Amino acid sequence: MLNMYVFATALGLASAAAVAAAAVAPTYPPLAVLKAFRLVVQVTERSTSNDFASIHNTYISNIRTGHQGHDLLGQTENADKALTFYLNGTTTAQEYMRVLTESTTSVSSGIRLDPDEGSRTVRTAYLIEGAADVGFSLKHPSENYAFLHPETWAACKEKLPLDKDREVIVFKQAITTTSHMFGTVDQNIPKGCVSVRLLPECANLNDLPKFSSYLPEQITPSHQHVLGSHCYKDVKAIDWSKYGPGP
């Protein structure tokens, strides 16, 4: 199902780009390829999302849940608290790539998407020690922009499971569904959430943490399989009105 979704998204963007290209010569913000990146939140539903305006241009960070090595993805205005991620894998095919970080513990953690209870389309993003999902990428060859796939990302206000008084912003990924019978497309963004895009901003790869010698070899952090990441030098500084056409 994931592969089909990714394919459909790529196809949609490619054909939209082809139509646009016939009208105006497009330009796009310059991309670099580095070994690490931070993720910058871009709220894509501006008019309906006053509640979420303050998270625009903030960075992805982690929220402790009380379970060691099992954090939620959150956001922070403070660049120093942003997580430094990298793509890990032996090939740049999306189905084999992970998004990892050593920013939180001495074991590599990576993004994992766990289905929300009772939902077939919405998954909450966690940062899990030693058990990241594969299936992520930053730029498809047919696209001119870099952003975290799979889309669509949503920022949602939620109460923490162990601290019901604390409302935080967490991130979810929603699978777009189409109804052939009604000819409708549904992004499946949950109620109370806003759709966002997560853009990679170039960063320096962290040094490997000083880990204790008792760590089993298979969880000892390594940068042996770090792949190049397309990234923007400074996402906040991009004047999007100068670029396009396109989202």
Ligand X SMILES: *[C@@H]1O[C@H](CO)[C@@H](O)[C@H](O)[C@H]1NC(C)=O
Q: Give me the residues that bind ligand X (CB under 6 A), please.
A: 88-90, 98, 100, 108, 110, 132, 225
Q: How far is the CB of 138 from ligand X (least distance, A)?
A: 16
CB of 135 to ligand X, least distance (A): 12
Q: How far apart are the first and last CA of the chain?
A: 25
Q: What is the 3-state secondary structure (H, E, C) of 26-68?
A: CECCCCEEECEEEEEEEECCCCCCHHHHHHCCCEEEEECCCCC
For the bound state, the minimum distance from the C-beta of residue 245 to ligand X, rounded and expressed in Å, comes to 37
The residue (of 2 and 168) whose beta carbon lies closer to ligand X is 2
Identify which of residues 88 and 229 has a Cβ nearer to ligand X in the complex: 88
Residues in contact with 183: Cβ distance below 8 Å, sequence separation at least 6, in sequence order? none
Q: Are 102 and 88 in contact (CB under 8 A)?
A: no
Instruction: Determine which helix (DSSP H) or strand (DSSP E) holds 9, and give its type and residue range.
Output: helix 2-23
Measured from the CB atom, the residue of 108 and 152 that comes closer to ligand X is 108
Which one, 112 or 149, has the nearer CB to ligand X? 112
User: Shortest distance, CB of residue 84 to ligand X, whole angstroms?
Assistant: 15
Q: Which is nearer to ligand X, 30 or 216 (CB)?
A: 216
Please state the closest distance from residue 70 (CB atom) to ligand X, in A. 15
In the complex, least distance from residue 178 CB atom to ligand X, rounded to whole angstroms: 33
Q: Give the pair of three-digit tokens for residue 127.
A: 């940062």
Q: Which is nearer to ligand X, 128 or 156 (CB)?
A: 128
Alpha-carbon distances, residue 116 vs 8, 36, 165 (angstroms): 23, 29, 21
Cα(157)–Cα(192) distance, rounded to whole angstroms? 7
CA distance 228 to 34: 5
Rounding to the nearest 10 degrees, give the CA dihedral for residues 80, 132, 168, 187: 120
